[in-house]
Chain A
Amino acid sequence: MQIETIERKAFEIRKHIVHTVINNGDGHAGPSLSCTDILATLYFDIMDVRVDEPKWSDRDRFVLSAGHKCLALYGTLIEKGFEKADVLETYNQLGSKVPGHPDMKKFNGVDFSSGALGHGLPIGAGMALNAKLKGEKNRVFVLMGDGEQGEGSNWEAAMFASHHGLDNLVGIIDRNGLQINGSTRDVLDTRDLREKYSAFGWSVKVVDGHNIEELLNTFQSIPFQKGKPSMVIANTIKSKGMPFAEGNVKYHHWNPGKNSQESKDALDALERYANDKGWIK
Chain B
Amino acid sequence: MTVKQRNPRDVFGEVLLELGRENDSIMAVSCDSGAGSGMNPFKQALPHQYLEVGINEQNAIGVCAGLAEGGSIPVVSAIAPFISMRAFEQVRNDLGYANMNVKVIGSSSGLSHSALGSTHQAIEDLTLMRVIPNMVVFNPGDCYEVEMSLREAIKHKGPVYIRMPRHPMAEPLDESQRHFKLGKGEILMNTGDEIVIAVSGTLTVDGLMTGKILDEMGYGVKVLNFTTVKPLDTELLYDAYKDAKYLFTLEEHSQIGGFGSAVLEALGSVKHGVPIHIVGITDGSINTGPYRELLDAYGLTWEKVVDRILNVIQK
Contact = CB atoms under 8 A, between A and B. Distances in A.
Contact of B32 (A114, A115, A181): A181
A105 interface: yes
Contacts of A96: 115, 288-289
A14 interface: no
Q: Which of B55, B81, B82 has its CB near the most chain A CB atoms (within 10 A)?
A: B55
Contacts of B118: 103, 115
A101 B119 CA distance: 8
Nearest to B289: A94
Nearest to A147: B55
B117 A150 contact: no
Q: Which has the most chain A C-beta neighbours within 10 Å: B34, B58, B290?
A: B34
A117 B287 CA distance: 20
Given A179-B55, A181-B30, A100 B286 contact: no
Interface string A125-166: 000000000000000000000011011100000000000000
B55 A99 contact: no
Nearest to A253: B34
A100 B81 CA distance: 16
Interface string A222-236: 000000000000000
A161 to B, nearest CB: 20
B292 to A, nearest CB: 10
A184 to B, nearest CB: 8
Contact of A67 (B54, B81, B119, B294): B119
A181 B286 contact: no
A177 to B, nearest CB: 14
A51 interface: no
Contact of A115 (B54, B56, B119, B297): B119
Given A92-B289, A99-B288, A152-B59, A180 B32 contact: yes
Contacts of B53: 150, 188
Nearest to B53: A188
B289 A116 contact: no
A95 interface: yes
A275 interface: no
B293 interface: yes
B266 to A, nearest CB: 33
B274 interface: no
Contact of B115 (A99, A150, A152): A99
A188 B289 contact: no
Nearest to A190: B54
Contacts of B32: 147, 150, 179-181, 187-188
B120 interface: yes
B52 A188 contact: yes
Contacts of A181: 30, 32-34, 52
Interface residues of B, number: 29
B114 to A, nearest CB: 9
A151 B55 contact: yes
B117 A103 contact: yes
B54 A92 contact: no
Contact of A188 (B33, B56, B287): B56
A164 to B, nearest CB: 24
A250 to B, nearest CB: 10
Contacts of B297: 94-95
Interface in B40-59: 52-56, 58-59
Contact of B56 (A92, A116, A150): A150
Contact of A187 (B54, B113, B115, B290): B54
Contacts of A100: 113, 115-117, 120, 288
A94 B294 contact: yes
A118 B55 contact: yes
Nearest to B39: A181
A99 B116 contact: yes
Interface in B55-75: 55-56, 58-59
B272 interface: no
A158 to B, nearest CB: 15
A93 interface: yes
A269 B290 CA distance: 30
B86 A101 contact: no
A117 B86 CA distance: 10
A187 B294 CA distance: 34
Given A92-B115, A115-B119, A188-B52, A180 B293 contact: no
Contact of B293 (A94, A101, A151): A94
B87 to A, nearest CB: 11
A18 to B, nearest CB: 18
Nearest to A117: B55
Contact of A151 (B56, B117, B119, B288): B56
Contacts of B116: 99-101, 115
A88 B273 CA distance: 52
A27 to B, nearest CB: 9
A188 B119 contact: no
Given A94-B289, A187-B52, A101 B117 contact: yes
Given A67-B119, A115-B117, A118-B86, 6 more contacts: A92-B289, A99-B117, A116-B120, A150-B53, A179-B32, A182-B52
8 contacts: A94-B289, A94-B297, A95-B287, A96-B289, A100-B113, A116-B119, A118-B55, A151-B55
Interface of B: 30, 32-34, 52-56, 58-59, 81-82, 86, 113, 115-120, 286-290, 293-294, 297
Top-7 shortest CB links A-B: A188-B54, A115-B119, A94-B289, A100-B116, A150-B54, A99-B288, A150-B55
